[in-house]
Amino acid sequence: MAHHIVPVILAGGVGSRLWPLSRSRFPKQCIDLEDCGNSLLQATLKRCSMTTQAPVLLCNEEHRFLIAEQARAIGVTPRSILLEPVGKNTAPAIAVAAWLIAQTEPDAIMLVLPSDHVIDDATQFAEKVAQGADVASTGDLVTFGIEPSAPETGYGYIRARTGAPVAAVAEFVEKPDLARAKAYLADGNYLWNSGMFMFRADAYLRELAAFEPEIHALSQAALEQAEADLTFTRLAPEPFTRLPSISIDYAVMERTERAQVVRFPSIWNDVGSWSAMRELGEPDAQNNVTRGDALLLDSKNTLVHAGSRLVAAVGVEDLIIVETDDAVMVTRADRAQDVKKIVDHLAREGRPEVDWHREVHRPWGKYHGLVINGRYQVKRITVNPGQKLSTQMHYHRAEHWVVVSGTAKVRVGEREQLISENESTYIPIGDVHSLENPGKIPLELIEIQTGGYLGEDDIVRFDDRYGRS
């Protein structure tokens, strides 16, 4: 039986345990962790192509252009991109999406997916989704339980009442210690909690009204009072910020009498830490996994992720080594979950490495910091075809632009000119200026900034097509 399935993609996470690859302004769902040409978000969107319905995406304010561009790049036009003013966990986020869908199709089945998971077999995924849809169409609330391949202590578990392919949920279980995890594996009815769900929009709202009436009411108000902003829908801050922060497990799934679990094969990885990341690679004879320009001698059980240069290690065991162009992280494999403590420490110190890579994505393209040194810095700027930076000025810095490829339309004051490859222009301190790519290929240029203060907040915007203040 064919069902009307609407994908709902939760894309608001950060993935701090995958630092330094994942940053708060460029989170793991936007990174190509599988080295396959698609980010985790794009792979998730492609897996949903069998539904035929445009997806609903939820993300935060900071990631909105990044999320929208990643969808556009693979030809996906979302039904809506809902912007959360603050993160309130999964129960409120899913509730807003349910209200949106219920406006026109209350019996549509929501396929709720995190945007940062890896699923190896799209065919088996589609089969399980179809199985879940049959159950969800009756008004039950479906979760997917992963058949465990090891006594994993990093996941919560779902105990199914039977060993059938679809069974009623007996209970949700917190992350166990190793002894209990081994017992769960031997039992056969304990499944990893995947965080994937299926239910009709009206069924979820029905259960939410029964167990969390405050979330039911405030999520509806947040959508009703939302404002359109370009291709985004900004949820109303006042009601949304009053929502409790609670997961769908605690709010609904652990309390409803209509929870069903579909057994899902071990083709799933939540890539929640660098230890989980190891499972995505092909180990060598010494059980080492490498990505990028890496050389290991007399080493075993080690993961090396080299992002921008050669990383060499001799005589090491059970390590995780991750290199980017501005940070190197080394940890024992059994301490991989504690990488978040590094992020917390850096955040307390106000370090930029928590938030940004040297390559920073903008709605018009991106820039890459090449040299940062006192009173000058050098950037490589890429402007996508047809895009334009805001009309702006700076109080503390002058800029010199050299075009490497493409053609730039530059306005400085009242003077407008086209600048081609190997040509340059100069923007004095205080002059109002803009940069646009009028061509059909990406515009690449080198920007040299000089001045007493070179922070990104030294920008006064006069006009911006992306609605930034």
Q: Is the pTM of this model over 0.85?
A: yes
Q: Which residues of 3-129 form beta strands (DSSP E)?
A: 5-10, 56-60, 80-84, 109-114, 118-119
Query: What distances in angstroms separate CA 319 from CA 279, 302, 340, one per listed residue?
Result: 14, 5, 17
Q: What is the mean pLDDT of the chain?
A: 93
- State the pairing for strand pair 328-332/259-264: unpaired
Mean pLDDT of 164-179: 94
HSE-CB at 26 with a 13 A cutoff on CA atoms is 18
- The 10s digit of each residue's pLDDT in 25-42 is 889 999 988 878 899 999
Cβ atoms 455, 352 nearer than 8 A:
no
Backbone conformation region of residue 195, classed left if phi is above 0, alpha if psi is from -120 to 50, else beta: left
Predicted local distance difference test score (pLDDT) of residue 262? 96
Other beta carbons within 10 angstroms of residue 173's beta carbon come to 16
- The 10s digit of each residue's pLDDT in 265-288 is 988 988 888 988 888 889 999 999
Predicted local distance difference test score (pLDDT) of residue 127? 93
Predicted local distance difference test score (pLDDT) of residue 37? 85
Q: What percent of the chain has pLDDT over 90?
A: 80
Predicted local distance difference test score (pLDDT) of residue 3? 85
3-state secondary structure of 304: strand
Q: Which residues of 201-350 form beta strands (DSSP E)?
A: 227-229, 232-234, 259-264, 268-269, 289-291, 294-297, 303-306, 311-314, 319-323, 328-332
Predicted local distance difference test score (pLDDT) of residue 463? 87
**What structural domains does the chain harbor?**
5-269 (3.90.550.10), 283-345 (no CATH), 359-463 (2.60.120.10)
What confidence tier does 391 reach under pLDDT thresholds 50, 70, 90?
Answer: very high
Which residue is listed with tokens 């205080």?
430
- Residues in Cβ contact with 303 at an 8 Å cutoff, skipping those fewer than 6 apart: 274, 277, 278, 281, 288, 289, 290, 319, 320, 321, 322, 333
- The 10s digit of each residue's pLDDT in 104-121 is 999 999 999 999 999 988
Which residue is listed with tokens 């992306």?
466
- The 10s digit of each residue's pLDDT in 192-248 is 999 999 999 999 999 999 999 999 999 999 999 999 988 899 999 999 999 999 999
What confidence tier does 360 reach under pLDDT thresholds 50, 70, 90?
Answer: confident
In this predicted structure, the answer to whether residue 468 has a pLDDT above a threshold of 90 is: no
| Closest to 269 measured CA to CA, from 285, 260, 261, 281 | 281
Cβ atoms 51, 111 nearer than 8 A:
yes
Amino acid, res. 327: A
Q: Tell me the C-alpha distance between 91 and 464, whole Å.
A: 34
Cβ atoms 294, 311 nearer than 8 A:
yes
Query: What distances in angstroms separate CA 276 from CA 32, 180, 269, 320, one per listed residue?
Result: 15, 20, 7, 11
Q: Tell me the C-alpha distance between 320 and 302, whole Å.
A: 6
Mean pLDDT of 156-179: 94
In this predicted structure, the answer to whether residue 182 has a pLDDT above a threshold of 80 is: yes
Mean pLDDT of 295-311: 96
HSE-CB at 267 with a 13 A cutoff on CA atoms is 13
Q: What is the DSSP annotation of 364-377?
A: TEEEEEEEEETTEE
What confidence tier does 1 reach under pLDDT thresholds 50, 70, 90?
Answer: low
Cβ atoms 407, 436 nearer than 8 A:
no
Cβ atoms 208, 252 nearer than 8 A:
yes
Which residue is listed with tokens 């304010």?
61
Q: Which of the two residues, 323 and 267, has the higher pLDDT score?
A: 323
